[in-house]
Amino acid sequence: MQSKQTDRSRKNYSLWLSAWKRLKKSRMAMFGLALFAIICLGAIFADVIAPYPYDFQNLDETFQFPNANHWFGTDSVGRDIFSRILYGGRVSLQIGLVSVLISVTLGGSLGAIAGFYGGKTDNLIMRTLDILLAIPAILLAITIVTALGPGMFNLMLAIGVSSVPSFARIVRASILSVKEQEFVEAARLSGCNDAHIIFSHLVPNIMAPIIVQITLSMALAILSASSLSFIGLGIQPPIPEWGAMLSAGRAYIRNYSHIVLFPGLAIMATILSLNLLGDGLRDALDPRLKN
Partner 1 sequence: MFRYISRRIIMMIPVLLGVVFVIFTILYFSPGDPARTILGVTATEQEVQMLSEELGLNDPYGVQLFRYLKDLLRGDMGRSYKNNKSVSAEILQRFPTTLLLATLSILFAAVIAIVAGIISAIKQYSVFDNIVTGFSLLGISIPNFWLGLMLIILVSLHWRLLPASGFYGPRYWILPLITNGVGYMAGIMRITRSSMLEVIRQDYIRTARAKGQREIVVILKHALRNAIIPIITLIGLQFGRALGGAVLIETVFAIPGLGKYLVDSISAKDIPVIQGGVLFLAFLFGVVNLCVDILYGFFDPRISSQYRRKKEKAVKMHAKQAN
Partner 2 sequence: MKRKLGLLFVVLAVVLSFSVLALAKQDTLIVAVDREPSSMNPHGSNDAGTSFVTNLMYEGLVTFDSDMNLVPELATRWEQIDDTTIRFYLRDNVYFHNGEHFTAKDVKYTFELTSKSPFTASTLGMIDAEATTIIDDYTVDIVLKYPFGPAINHLGHSTAAIVNQKAMEEGGENYDDNPVGTGPFVLKKWNSGDSIELTTSDNYWGEKPAYKTLVLRYIPEATTRAIEVETGGVDIARAISANDAINLGDNPNVNVISSNILNTSYLSYNCSKPPFDNVKVRQAISSAINADAVVRNVTFGLGERANSVMAPSIFGYVPSEEPYGYNVERAKSLLAEAGYADGFKTTLVVNAVNASTSAEIIQNMLAQIGIEVEILAYDFNNWLDTIVNGRQDMYIGGWTTVTGDADYALRNSFHTNNKGTGGNRSYYSNPEVDALLEQAAVEMNQGIRAELYKKVQEVLAEEAVYVNLQIGQVHLAAGKHVKGLVAHPNQNIDLWTVYFE
Contact 64, 70 (CB under 8 A): yes
Q: Does 248 bind partner 2 (CB under 8 A)?
A: yes
Task: Select the binding partner of residue 171 from partner 1, partner 2, none (C-beta < 5 to 8 A, by kind).
Answer: none
Question: What whole-number distance in Å separates Cα of residue 12 and Cα of residue 213?
Answer: 19
Q: Using the rule CB under 8 A, is 250 a contact of partner 1?
A: yes
Q: Tell me the closest approach of the beta carbon of residue 42 to partner 2, in angstroms.
A: 23
Q: Does 146 bind partner 2 (CB under 8 A)?
A: yes
Q: Which stretch binds partner 1 (CB under 8 A): 51-59, 66-74, 137-145, 188-196?
A: 137-145
The DSSP output letter for 80 is: B
Q: Quick check: 30 and 271 in contact, CB under 8 A? A: no
Question: What type of residue sits at position 284?
Answer: A
Q: Using the rule CB under 8 A, which residue among 6, 193, 255, 291 binds partner 2?
A: 255
Cα–Cα distance between 269 and 274 in angstroms, integer? 9
**113/208 with CB nearer partner 1:** 208
Residue 156 phi, psi (nearest 5): -60, -40
**Interface with partner 1, residue 41, by CB under 8 A:** no
Nearest Cα to 266, choosing from 101, 47, 50, 93?
93
Tell which one of 66, 118, 150, 264 touches partner 2 (CB under 8 A). 150
| DSSP reduced 3-state for 63 | coil
Among 77, 106, 203, 269, binds partner 2 (CB under 8 A): 77
Closest CB to partner 2 among 30 and 77? 77
Q: Does position 254 bind partner 1 by CB under 8 A?
A: yes
C-beta atoms surrounding 227 within 10 Å: 18
Interface residues toward partner 2, by CB under 8 A: 55, 57, 59, 62, 76-77, 146, 149-150, 232-233, 236-238, 248, 250-255
